[in-house]
Amino acid sequence: MSVNRDDVAEQEYLPSIADLLADTSRPTFSFEFFPPADQAGSDVLAQTILDLDATGPDWLSVTYGASGATRDRTIRATRFIKKRTEAQTMGHLTCAGQSRDELLATLARYAEADVRHVLAIRGDMPGGPTVPWQQHPDGLANATELVSLIADNFSFGIGVAAFPDPHPQHRDPELDARLLLEKQQAGASFAITQLFFDAGAYARLVERVRAIGCTLPIVAGIQPVTNIAQVERFAALSGAALPQRVVRRLHAVADDPAQVRRVGVEIATELSAEVLRAGAPGLQFFTLNRSRATSAILANLRRLGLDRRSPAVASDG
Ligand SMILES: Cc1cc2nc3c(=O)[nH]c(=O)nc-3n(C[C@H](O)[C@H](O)[C@H](O)COP(=O)(O)OP(=O)(O)OC[C@H]3O[C@@H](n4cnc5c(N)ncnc54)[C@H](O)[C@@H]3O)c2cc1C
């Protein structure tokens, strides 16, 4: 629906992500990609972006990695999205291993590419979120400082990370909630969750943050499962709880990859439906640069009428 559009000036009129999330008549649907490692990966990503753009996403985002080469590829991917789709574009930015000046330089590159939104996150040490964090000597201590740096120097719409299952470094849900409030006070206007598999965990997170006065809309991060070993690894790395009922359903079909994908789509559809019915303002799909599972889940949600929100559920998230 939206390919071959070179005139990025049209994007002047796109509503911001905060505005999209404020529209209570419907949830947002957005897709996350990672920067490809080589030309073959770039080709796959380009096709995936175009395929998923045809579903009319609200925004498309690209993760930000640990090395300089990966970071260049993130900027390139955001430029591609700007040029070839009609969706809002969001670049992720982490503080890991970078000085304040390097962070400002990356932000300037996003601004030059006309990227209007940044997901401000801390990043992890090599080895994951439980490895003790070391601040760069000229860098920032945490994501809240990154939000302030961005808000003080640029006009990006700023998103931040949220954790339905407590962040694995402290495993302290109240601290996670307080940090979301601090990020809002520093200039963030929305949050996107880490992957999770229990709609109750999402609902409890929303309850905790609302109880302390944080009003950030919290988009639910959905990981379509297409491979059992991979999702077990992601859950272990991110600290997300993988409930036994989910593991049992996947292992029951473990010998047949096509059945694993089918059950994975079913599980993600059920989870998405539950959080949307509970009032989540939007879903962000972690696509792993593939379109099939995400497209199937979206089609299921549309069949269930969940691309519209009823007034009864339109008030939270
Ligand atoms: C939607 C989403 C997208 C992501 N994209 C990327 C990506 O592109 N690249 C990437 O490398 N990683 C990405 N991540 C992972 C993220 O970097 C990790 O989850 C990281 O461990 C935490 O990031 P944060 O922004 O929540 O950090 P922070 O808010 O800085 O928190 C990190 C830890 O420090 C503690 N902490 C922070 N501030 C304080 C304080 N003031 N007092 C006490 N403790 C504090 C927190 O409790 C937490 O345990 C993403 C995560 C999500 C949910």
pLDDT at 2: 38
Q: What is the CATH number of domain 8-313?
A: 3.20.20.220
pLDDT at 316: 54
Residue among 179, 184, 208 to mutate when testing ligand 1 (max atoms within 8 A of CB):
179
Tens digit of pLDDT for each residue in 116-127?
Answer: 999 999 999 888
Angstrom distance (rounded) from CA 280 to CA 220 = 7
Residues 6+ apart with CB under 8 A from 260: 225, 226, 227, 228, 250, 253, 254
Tens digit of pLDDT for each residue in 32-45?
Answer: 999 999 999 999 99
pLDDT at 128: 83
Question: Which residues does the chain have with pLDDT short of 70?
Answer: 1-12, 310-317
For the chain, domain boundaries: 8-313
pLDDT at 127: 81
Give distance in angstroms: CA of 172 to centre of ligand 1. 13
Closest atom, ligand 1, to C-alpha of 61: 8
pLDDT at 310: 56
The answer to whether 32 is a known catalytic residue is: yes
DSSP result, 63-115? ---SSHHHHHHHHHHHHHHHHH-SSEEEEEEE-TT--HHHHHHHHHHHHHTT-
